[in-house]
Amino acid sequence: MATIDDVAKLARVSRSTVSHALSGNRPISIEVKQRIFRVMEELDYRPNGLAKALKTKQTKIIALLFPSLRKDLSQLQLEFVNSALQSASENNYSLLLSTVPIEEQKIVHFIEQGFVDGVVLLGVKLHDPRVDLLRNLKYPFSMIGHCEDNTGLFYIDLDFDMALEKSVQYLADLGHKHIGFINEAQPLLDLEFGAAVRANTGFWRAIEQNNLIGLSYPCQQDALAGYNLMRQMLAEQPQLSAIITINPWVISGVNQAATEHGLKIPSDLSHISVVSSHYAEMLTPSLTAIDLPSSEMGRLGVEMLIRQLEDRKIQPIQQLLTPILTIRDSTQPYQAR
């Protein structure tokens, strides 16, 4: 079995440099870090604690890594967690939840202790360093979301690009010509959070294909932020007759701003969101939505990981769910005002 000294020798670095590349305690250049990881892969090297955990698989504990911009989770986020917890329990595994931001260097500390057998990643980026690291360590993981390059990966995700195209097309068919889109928060876009980036792409593609006038803005995960942004969008585009939201935190603020502006939903303003059917049906009026199958995605993400743990020769499973638009009470044909 390869040792850390073997890695250092072949990578032409010191033993301490390899250690720092793994722990993240000291900055290592990208070039050197990549060379070290390539050698680790060639030698099939794993840190001692990690190798032991992979060999014994006795913990029967998996982790759900769910980095959040807020300390509290929304009802929609809890649906992911609850279904993941239930799925783990049904398969005789315990689930450890982490909602703090986890950078790549912290993951090594997290899994090297050998406390968990594998991880499920949420909040997946198009180019996700966590994925690169887990690949290099050959550590079992699955994703709720997907990257730009998904070769050899296990994932379940909703087609957010198609979700926004379908939403815009539906509104266009109702006669709406001025449509706004409130996306996830700017930090998530800056980090290339897959759902937010793909949704924005789908929105603008559909706007252009239908020769519509569109507005698109990011928004913090906060009802007040949604309220202020909606007021700004209505001032910027007084003819706005439809709005699409993907950030559940902002929905109440958006509706309140519209009401204070003298607009009734849906007669003056149609509203579509990407949320779970359970959440959409709780609102008044009930929300026309691309129903986000959060419970199904949480369950499948865990099941994909467990199947890897119990059958190391299993081929990658990748599921991109087709979005389903459910018409409820928050949309209707365009009426001039």
Q: Label residue 329 by pLDDT band (50, 70, 90).
A: very high
Residues of 58-75 as b/e, b for ≥16 C-beta within 10 angstroms? eeebbbbbbbbeeeeebe
Q: Do 169 and 278 reside in the same domain of the chain?
A: yes
Average pLDDT score over residue span 285-313: 93
Report the CATH number at residue 153: 3.40.50.2300
Nearest CA to 122 among 92, 83, 177?
83
CA atoms of 96 and 79, how far apart (whole Å): 16
Mean predicted lDDT score pLDDT of the chain: 88
What CA–CA distances, in Å, run from 78 to 75, 123, 274? Answer: 5, 14, 16
336 belongs to a structural domain = no
Radius of gyration of the chain measured on its C-alpha atoms: 23
Query: For residues 160 and 167, what is the distance between their CA atoms, to the nearest angstrom?
Result: 10
* Per-residue pLDDT reduced to its tens digit, 90-140: 999 999 887 766 555 566 666 666 678 899 999 899 998 889 888 888 889
Same structural domain for residues 221 and 231?
yes
pLDDT band at 184 (very low <50, low <70, confident <90, very high): very high
Give backbone dihedrals phi and psi of 108, rounded to 5 degrees, phi first. -60, -45
Give the pLDDT mean for 233-260: 95
Residue at 232: amino acid letter? Q
* Type of residue at 267: S
- 67 shares its domain with 150: yes
Residues 154 and 300 in one domain: yes
Query: Please, what is the Cα angle at 182 between 178 and 187, to 5 degrees?
Result: 145
Say whether both 92 and 214 belong to one domain.
no
Are 216 and 246 within one domain? yes
List, for residues 202-231, the tens digit of each pLDDT value. 999 999 999 999 999 999 989 999 999 999
Report the distance separating Cα 193 and Cα 189, nearest Å.
6
CB 150 within 8 A of CB 318: yes
Q: Give the whole-angstrom CA distance, residue 304 versus residue 290.
A: 24
Task: Determine, yes or no, domain membership for 112.
Answer: yes
pLDDT of 257 > 90? The answer is: yes
Domain boundaries, position 62: 48-158+296-321
Q: Which of 17-31, 35-49, 116-130 is modeled with the greatest confidence?
A: 116-130
Which residue is it, tokens 């930090």?
187
Pair 192, 126: CB distance under 8 Å: yes
Residue 35 shares a structural domain with residue 85:
no
Question: Do 288 and 166 share a domain, yes or no?
Answer: yes
CATH number at residue 35: 1.10.260.40
Residues 99 and 169 both lie in one domain: no
**CA–CA separation, 280 and 257 (whole Å):** 19
Residue 330 lies in a domain: no
E strand map for the chain: 61-65, 94-98, 118-121, 141-144, 155-158, 178-182, 213-217, 242-245, 270-275, 288-291, 318-321, 325-326
pTM score, two decimals?
0.80
Question: Per the structure, how many domains does the chain have?
Answer: 3
Is residue 255 within 8 A of residue 234, CB to CB? The reply is no
